[in-house]
Structure 1
Amino acid sequence: MKQSVMEEATKPLLEQYEKGDFFFSSPTKTLLGKGKVKEVPFTERNEIPSTVKELLHNAKQQGYERPIAVGAIPFLPSQSSKLIIPEHVHIEETEKVKEHDFSNEDIQYEVRSFPSGEEYEEGVKAGLQSIREGEINKIVLARSLLVSASKAINVPELLYKLASKNQHGYTFAANVSDEVDNKTLVGASPELLIAKRGNQIVSNPLAGSRPRSKDPIEDKRRSEELLSSEKDLYEHAFVVQEITRALKPYCKNLHVPEKPELLHTETMWHLSTVITGEVADDSISSLDLAHVLHPTPAVCGTPTEQARQKIQDIEPFDRSFFTGTVGWCDENGDGEWIVTIRCAEVLEESLRLFAGAGIVEGSIPSEERAETAAKFKTMLRAMGINEEEKE
């Protein structure tokens, strides 16, 4: 009898990760997938949950006692997901990541912004014009950093550094290679799209942000200002309302706090609302719910289709898996799916980083640009890069 899940490991799963594996760590559980039983074929976005359910059932019939589907889903529904059923899945409780000394090999990096900062601000202005004309209510606009390295990038080391600096978030690595490039999607997201265990669900949308400050007094001032900001509270309420509306048809009950709280990462303050509930039908899977929610207004805008089209008109690059979702789902429908932010696509000697900001009436282009710069720091610091990007 084949065994898909092995609970015990000789060393922490983070240290067992090798490039090409699937790694996913939440505040409570760490999952490592190795090998591949089956790859989920390209299908229409709305057919992915049922296709995965069928493949998990088939894997169970083949002797895999606890098959799990893992992987990444891109931002655009027209693009192919990268979901597989691993040959082996190791699961353990998440533990604090110990400090680790890596080799001090000198790697030189060249960092370039695409679009440039000025071009990004022009894009924000175009988004604001669409809002004023009533085409959309909110739009999330992103930019990317193109990073060239002097030698091959050590993906396991980068993943370890991300995990050590983001102990309370979601650290991930997924093989998203295509016919042309050997790519790994790696990142440390603070945002939970949906988690399901039994009939209980949790969603933790984030919208409204401020960069952290090294000065404790200034850092506190920024957090308090965010918590009282009319513009940011408006933006956050938009996201919470849409997620609540999307989840209601699938739930017996939902608990939605009246006001957001503050959540902090190493680099950012966020407005955060933890939505909890109970599904009406136990057969509804975490992937079903992820499909219903993705993309949220926190990464796209509202109305969704109009905002998504406007993003494609304004942004001069392909988001690919950025602002998609990464996670896992087992045969019982339990699973966790996070919003793919604070991430990079890693090639052999280059990376492409992404960061975005929510644009609503009252947004100031220069401030939105500064917000994206602060969000880039999660990945840049893990790489040991402190320089500003070149325009």
Structure 2
Amino acid sequence: MIFFRFPFSETIYTTGDTSASDAVSFLSFDQSEKLDFKRNINAISISEFLNHEVFNDELKMELLEFKEETSEEYQKKLLNVMDFIKDNQLSKLVISRRKLVEFNGSKLSLSQTFLNLCEAYKNAFVYFFIKDGKCWLGAFSELLGKFDKRTSEFETISLAGTIPVDEKWTDKEIEEQKPVTDFISNTLKNYASEVHKSDTYDHISGNIKHLRTDFKAKITEEDLEKIIAELHPTPAVCGIPKEMCRNAIENFEPHPRNFYAGYIKVETEENVQYFVNLRCAEFFKNAALIYVGGGITAESSPEKEWRETELKSEAILKNLSFK
């Protein structure tokens, strides 16, 4: 079962009963896991969606013996991360954590939570799925790639740096976004003779904002999956250089990222779109785990980075619908 909504759309989609080439796929961060929904994509009304409202007590899996990382533990780890960044002269390394939400016997409507996310994040790709015992919801607006099958135009964005909407950008965020932009620009130049890049501007996402730069280029359809393979994981969810940062993430993070910071592929007759899977949570019968992270640099403040992850967790927290 899957439901999703495209950015700036009011339409909810699900997959139908007949097999077709149209498909939705979820790939984990390390690409070791893939969930496919290979059926026709159909639009449904909100009333149809709510006809089969889903609650947490219908889920099969329970979360057992989970110990949440404290603020002190996370900040202590970030000091070690910053030493690693300085020793290896890295521009940034992305580190994540999981925030625990215990239901304590309360009944959570997963369906209404999905609708709340749709309302709160108009510019996001919003999804809700249950498959193979797994249940995830998410809403995020970073486009890993979009390919128009008719025009062969490929679009992507550089999105990095995070502060509350009412604050002003500092050198830390500007320096954090620059290598993401350079990485994408250099990747696309290997596949297109001309790459169009926008000015950098503010991208508002609820209570926080990011720095954003847009890219467009003409490519061949045969190169599409190659480009996605090179772009993922972007510096915004991993770091630069990619392989060193991937290994460092394995060493510093005590948990698997699973589908967090992976990507979602949605293919229709007209286009293929790839969305980065951030601002997401994994749901169980008795609790939820919200996955959050941030780009750490040599100038980072561990205390500020903790607050940033707390702010990011509110994307899910503020939209949970308990009955």
- TM-score interval w.r.t. the shorter chain? 0.7 to 0.9
- The residue that corresponds to 2:215 in the other structure is 275
Which residue of 46, 61, 74 maps to 1:120? 74
* Bigger relative contact order, structure 1 or 2 (CA pairs below 8 A, ≥6 apart): 2
Render the CA deviation track for 1:123-160: whole Å, top value 9, x for unaligned: 21111101111163310011111222124532211111
- The residue that corresponds to 1:26 in the other structure is 7
CA RMSD in angstroms, aligned pairs only? 2.9
- The residue that corresponds to 2:30 in the other structure is 76
Letter in 2 for 1:312: E
2:309 is equivalent to residue 372 of structure 1: yes
- The residue that corresponds to 1:253 in the other structure is 194
CA–CA distance in structure 2, aligned partners of residues 328 and 365 of structure 1: 36
Listed as ranges, the matches of 1:329-344 within 5 Å are: 329-330=267-268, 334-344=271-281
Letter in 2 for 1:304: K
Note if contact 2:4-2:125 (Cα within 8 Å) is conserved in structure 1.
no
- The residue that corresponds to 1:156 in the other structure is 111
Render the CA deviation track for 1:257-298: whole Å, top value 9, x for unaligned: 3x410111212111111111211x24444x543322110000
Note if contact 1:153-1:350 (Cα within 8 Å) is conserved in structure 2.
no
CA–CA distance in structure 1, aligned partners of residues 5 and 259 of structure 2: 16
Render the CA deviation track for 1:18-70: whole Å, top value 9, x for unaligned: xx224242225856232576xxxxxxxxxxxxxxxxxxxxx6xxxx4xx2121
Letter in 2 for 1:170: F
Letter in 2 for 1:256: K
Letter in 1 for 2:143: L
Match of 1:382, SS state, is coil
Which residue of 144, 155, 158 maps to 1:205? 158
Q: How many residues align?
A: 306
- The residue that corresponds to 2:42 in the other structure is 90
- The residue that corresponds to 2:101 in the other structure is 147
- The residue that corresponds to 2:63 in the other structure is none
CA–CA distance in structure 2, aligned partners of residues 136 and 290 of structure 1: 23
CA–CA distance in structure 2, aligned partners of residues 113 and 382 of structure 1: 24
Note if contact 2:113-2:319 (Cα within 8 Å) is conserved in structure 1.
yes
- The residue that corresponds to 2:172 in the other structure is 231
2:138 is equivalent to residue 187 of structure 1: yes
Letter in 2 for 1:290: I
- The residue that corresponds to 2:147 in the other structure is 196
CA–CA distance in structure 1, aligned partners of residues 34 and 193 of structure 2: 30
CA–CA distance in structure 1, aligned partners of residues 253 and 6 of structure 2: 31
Note if contact 1:69-1:329 (Cα within 8 Å) is conserved in structure 2.
yes
CA–CA distance in structure 2, aligned partners of residues 272 and 373 of structure 1: 22
- The residue that corresponds to 2:62 in the other structure is none
CA–CA distance in structure 2, aligned partners of residues 113 and 191 of structure 1: 30
Listed as ranges, the matches of 1:266-345 within 5 Å are: 266-279=206-219, 281-285=220-224, 287-330=225-268, 334-345=271-282
**TM-score, length-normalised on structure 1?**
0.71
Match of 1:33, SS state, is strand
2:182 is equivalent to residue 241 of structure 1: yes
CA radius of gyration, larger in: 1
- The residue that corresponds to 1:4 in the other structure is none
Unaligned runs of 5+ in 2: 58-65
Match of 1:298, SS state, is coil
Structure 1 residues 146 and 24, CA gap change in structure 2 (3 angstroms): same
Match of 2:318, SS state, is helix
CA–CA distance in structure 2, aligned partners of residues 375 and 325 of structure 1: 18
Unaligned runs of 5+ in 1: 1-19, 38-58, 213-218, 386-391
**TM-score, length-normalised on structure 2?**
0.86
Note if contact 2:162-2:210 (Cα within 8 Å) is conserved in structure 1.
yes
- The residue that corresponds to 1:129 in the other structure is 83
